């Protein structure tokens, strides 16, 4: 559609970045979903939007679809409401006819769901209130230039970029960390920090999938130097060992997706939460960005805090933040934590899947460490290739060092490097202190390879269990130091939830509309068949400490490692939505659905981290997800049997791990 007659905008924040009315027809209709009043919208509407409304003689209407959805128990489900508004305001269809037809449509669409969902949707449509806004003027001659490549693409003006704008990108290398520039403001509700209720546990930051909420511990000096708008958010630390420190939580509210995980996880003090939801509009003020920016630029983690704990790890800056993953995504907290633990000492090779899409929606990149994506089917080989390439070049660096005559300072640093080639801290120190004027030119050209970097190969279960399994097997059979992280959503999430070999028996997924009829593949068991492979299964919401241990052990182990991480996804249809994703991780392991363990070939110890599982919770866990709940409706005949077999498989698998933990 090049010249639409109707433009519907479902998120007000789009108005600031996209010229939504640029191509609309004269006398057309513009519909905006907003919680603002007519007066407020007249005040806040960007000038270019006002100009188009006036110049093109548009009819402009507002509707608060989110409030209508909330009041009618279909929280955040606004598409049907917006479609109905279009029907109301256009002459596409007689509205009375539409109202009667929509009932039939809803009955059919939600035939698998409870009748209350149909009623809620019908009530929502009945309660639609649309208001017309009259805009009569705008500021003439206002000229706004978009400065950067990223701004141009994000504001849908990529077609205006010239070939010469791409010259520095011709090898596919893009600026890192650009998602931080987006400030998408996609959530109307964001967390507000109530410092007096805070017990400094850092759980909020640990669970945030988007790197939006972060803790900071300020020294007395840092506190004294901080501007008022930062100081007023700080409180004296309650940690008796850190009495001279000040603690605060920074929130980049414009990047918040409103997933609710932080608010849910916050224990607060005496049942009073330290995070509560507040409207974005209330929280936005001239200092809302400044405080977060100040804290992230100026306050660094302190050496006397153990950074390898849940609490300590959160003081480290994530090198993966503000991605475009779904609100509450179960995959991203794992990647975020990985980058907090290892930061600049890692390189990511990414399989195609959700993680490559939110990981590299060029020009939006959430990573600030080296990251590359090849294909769906070859990521293990891709990561392996990066490692082998790195090793070859680093051996060349070693040979140059061994055969060059340099000054005493460099000679000493060369010796240090040669003896500690695979230690990031020491090799980085060498990199920082070399006298580059004294080095042979071929070594200067290879200087990026002086710091040691480990390779993490990341992807989903579709990649690891199915399409890329041959490569995974090949890499695991080697003795090379490749680390594999499988984000196990148990379906092909990115393409709409298709069945993978990780999908459990009885689970509903695309291509398994009546519940999967085959057993789930046990990838961990297959990896355990190789004696030299580090293997772990982890679940962030069950036990973050075990997860940190697994990441550290895999990174330290000088051989192949594979970590399979349970990751809830929107495709699971979790009761209450993705704000329960962390809770579902906990229940998955507690109920025996997803046992967690770590096997380390160095010690030959198999640690069954989830020792005391309670299979009585199994049905409760399954029934909190539509992928199982719907089975009795779509496959009445076999539902009971499938669920029974599913549980029997889980019990047998757990018994197998239990035996291993007793034997090895």
Rule CB under 6 A: which residues touch ligand SF4?
191, 198-204, 208, 210, 212-213, 215, 249, 251, 256-262, 265-268, 274-275, 325-326, 329, 331, 354, 358, 489, 493-494, 569-571
Tell me the number of residues near ligand TPP by CB under 6 A: 20
Report which of 593, 349, 172 is spatially closest to residue 335, judged by C-alpha positions: 349
Based on the shown chain and the rule CB under 6 A, indicate whether residue 382 belongs to the binding site for ligand TPP: no
Q: How far apart are CA 202 and CA 428, in angstroms?
A: 29
Angle value at C-alpha 245, between 241 and 251, nearest 5 degrees: 120
Structure tokens at 378: 């070859």
Q: Report how far residue 18's alpha carbon sits from residue 36's, in angstroms, rounded to the nearest whole number.
A: 19
Cβ contact 259:321 at 8 Å? no
Stretch near ligand TPP under the rule CB under 6 A, chosen from 99-107, 199-207, 492-500, 522-530:
492-500
State in angstroms the smallest separation of the CB of 623 from ligand TPP: 23
Binds ligand TPP by CB under 6 A, chosen from 30, 149, 371, 376: 376
Which residue from 28, 360, 460, 504 is in contact with ligand TPP, where contact means CB under 6 A? 460
Contacts 24+ apart (CB under 8 A), 546-553: 546/596, 546/598, 546/609, 547/334, 547/337, 548/308, 548/309, 548/310, 548/313, 548/337, 548/341, 549/598, 550/598, 551/337, 551/338, 551/341, 551/342, 552/308, 552/341, 553/598, 553/600
Q: Which two tokens stand for residue 307?
A: 């950074």
- Judged by CB under 6 A, the residue of 328, 366, 462, 559 near ligand TPP is 462
Whether a cis peptide bond, with omega within 30° of 0, leads into 363 is yes
At closest approach, how far in Å is the CB of 520 from ligand TPP? 14
Q: Which does 592 bind (CB under 5 to 8 A by kind): ligand TPP, ligand SF4, none?
A: none
Residue 495 is a binding residue for ligand TPP (CB under 6 A): yes
- Cβ proximity to ligand TPP: between 133 and 524 the closer is 524
How many C-beta atoms lie closer than 10 Å to residue 327's C-beta? 20
Q: Which does 274 bind (CB under 5 to 8 A by kind): ligand SF4, ligand TPP, none?
A: ligand SF4
d(CA 301, CA 436): 30
Residue 494 is a binding residue for ligand TPP (CB under 6 A): yes
Q: Which does 459 bind (CB under 5 to 8 A by kind): ligand TPP, ligand SF4, none?
A: ligand TPP
458 belongs to the binding site for ligand TPP (CB under 6 A):
no
Cβ-closest residue to ligand TPP? Answer: 460
Q: Is 507 in the site for ligand TPP (CB under 6 A)?
A: no
Q: Which residues, at least 6 apart from 425, have a Cβ–Cβ distance to it below 8 Å? A: none
CA distance 472 to 382: 10
- When asked if residue 625 is in the footprint of ligand TPP (CB under 6 A), the reply is no
How far apart are the C-alpha atoms of 324 and 357, rounded to whole Å?
8
Which residue number, 52 or 571, has a Cβ lying nearer to ligand SF4?
A: 571
Residue 463 contacts ligand TPP per CB under 6 A: yes
Among candidates 378, 360, 384, which has minimal Cα distance to 494? 360
The DSSP call for residue 255 is: G
Indicate whether 471 belongs to the interface with ligand TPP (CB under 6 A): no
Query: Which of ligand TPP, ligand SF4, none does residue 213 bind (CB under 5 to 8 Å by kind)?
Result: ligand SF4
Interface positions, 341-370, toward ligand TPP (CB under 6 A): 352-355
Q: Would you say 257 or 600 has its CB closer to ligand TPP?
A: 257
Eight-state DSSP code of residue 361: B
CB 587 within 8 A of CB 505: no
Tell me the two tokens of residue 297: 């630029």
Q: Which is nearer to ligand TPP, 373 or 483 (CB)?
A: 373
- Percent helix, strand, coil in the chain, to 5, is 45, 15, 40
Residue 378 found at the interface with ligand TPP (CB under 6 A): no
Applying CB under 6 A, the span of 24-32, 169-177, 456-464, 636-644 interacting with ligand TPP comes to 456-464
* C-alpha to C-alpha distance for 153 and 149, rounded to whole angstroms: 6
* Residues 231-270, mask of contacts with ligand TPP (x by CB under 6 A): ----------------------------------------
Q: Report the partner that residue 500 touches, choosing among ligand SF4, ligand TPP, none (CB closer than 5 to 8 A by kind).
A: ligand TPP
Q: Which is nearer to ligand SF4, 191 or 560 (CB)?
A: 191
Q: CB of residue 268 vs ligand SF4: minimum separation in angstroms?
A: 6
Question: Phi-psi category of 397—alpha, beta or left, where left has phi over 0 and alpha has psi -120 to 50?
Answer: alpha
Contacting residues toward ligand TPP, per CB under 6 A: 331, 352-355, 376-377, 459-463, 467, 487, 489, 492-495, 500
């Amino acid at each position: 559609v090049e010249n639409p007659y109707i433009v519907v905008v479902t998120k007000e924040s789009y108005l600031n970045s996209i010229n939504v009315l640029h191509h609309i027809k004269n006398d057309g209709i513009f519909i905006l979903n907003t919680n603002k009043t007519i007066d407020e919208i007249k005040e806040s509407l960007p000038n270019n939007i006002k100009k188009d409304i006036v110049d093109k003689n548009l009819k402009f209407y507002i509707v608060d679809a989110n409030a209508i959805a909330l009041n009618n128990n279909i929280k955040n489900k606004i598409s049907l409401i917006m479609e109905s508004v279009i029907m109301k305001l256009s002459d596409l269809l007689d509205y009375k006819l539409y109202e009667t037809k929509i009932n039939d449509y809803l009955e059919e669409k939600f035939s698998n769901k409870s009748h209350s969902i149909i009623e809620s949707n019908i009530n929502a449509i009945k309660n639609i209130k649309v208001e017309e806004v009259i805009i009569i003027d705008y500021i003439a001659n206002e000229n706004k230039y978009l400065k950067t490549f990223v701004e141009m693409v994000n504001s849908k003006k990529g077609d205006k970029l010239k070939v010469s704008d791409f010259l520095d990108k011709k090898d596919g290398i893009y600026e890192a960390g650009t998602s931080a520039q987006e400030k998408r403001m996609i959530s109307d509700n964001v967390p507000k920090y109530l410092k007096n209720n805070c017990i400094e546990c850092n759980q909020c930051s640990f669970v945030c999938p988007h790197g939006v909420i972060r803790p900071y511990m300020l020294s007395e000096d840092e506190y004294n130097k901080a501007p008022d708008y930062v100081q007023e958010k700080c409180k004296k630390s309650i940690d008796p060992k850190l009495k001279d420190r000040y603690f605060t939580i920074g929130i980049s509210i414009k990047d918040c997706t409103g997933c609710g995980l932080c608010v849910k996880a916050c224990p607060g003090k005496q049942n009073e939460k330290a995070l509560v939801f507040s409207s974005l509009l209330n929280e936005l003020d001239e200092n809302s960005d400044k405080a977060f920016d100040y804290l992230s630029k100026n306050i660094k983690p302190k050496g006397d805090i153990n950074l390898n704990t849940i609490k300590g790890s959160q003081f480290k800056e994530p090198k993966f933040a503000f991605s475009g993953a779904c609100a509450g995504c179960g995959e991203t907290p794992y990647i975020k934590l990985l980058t907090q633990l290892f930061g600049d000492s890692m390189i990511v090779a990414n399989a195609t899947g959700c993680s490559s899409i939110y990981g590299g929606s060029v020009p939006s990149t959430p990573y600030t460490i080296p990251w590359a994506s090849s294909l769906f089917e070859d990521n293990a080989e891709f990561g392996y290739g990066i490692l082998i390439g790195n090793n070859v070049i680093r051996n060349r660096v070693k040979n140059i060092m061994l055969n060059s005559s340099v000054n005493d300072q460099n000679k000493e640093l060369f010796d240090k490097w040669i003896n500690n080639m695979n230690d990031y801290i020491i090799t980085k120190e060498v990199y920082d202190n070399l006298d580059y004027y004294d080095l042979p030119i071929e070594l200067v050209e290879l200087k990026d390879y002086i710091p040691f970097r480990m390779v993490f190969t990341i992807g989903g279960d579709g990649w690891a269990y199915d399409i890329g399994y041959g490569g995974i097997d090949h890499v695991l059979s080697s003795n090379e130091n490749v680390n594999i992280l499988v984000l196990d959503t148990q379906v092909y999430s990115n393409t709409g939830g298709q069945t993978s070999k990780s999908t459990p028996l009885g689970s509903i997924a695309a291509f398994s509309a009546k519940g999967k009829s085959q057993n789930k593949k046990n990838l961990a068991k297959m990896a355990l068949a190789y004696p030299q492979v580090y293997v772990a299964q982890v679940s962030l919401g069950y036990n973050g400490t075990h997860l940190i241990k697994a990441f550290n052990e895999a990174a330290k182990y000088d051989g192949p490692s594979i970590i399979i991480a349970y990751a809830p996804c929107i495709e699971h249809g979790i009761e209450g939505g993705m704000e329960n994703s962390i809770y579902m991780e906990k229940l998955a392991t507690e109920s025996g659905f997803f046992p967690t363990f770590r096997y380390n070939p160095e010690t030959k110890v198999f640690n069954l981290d989830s020792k005391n599982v309670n299979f009585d919770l199994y049905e409760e866990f399954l029934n909190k997800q539509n992928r199982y709940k719907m089975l009795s409706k779509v496959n009445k005949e076999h539902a009971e049997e499938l669920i029974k077999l599913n549980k029997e498989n889980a019990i047998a698998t757990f018994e197998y791990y239990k035996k291993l933990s007793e034997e090895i």
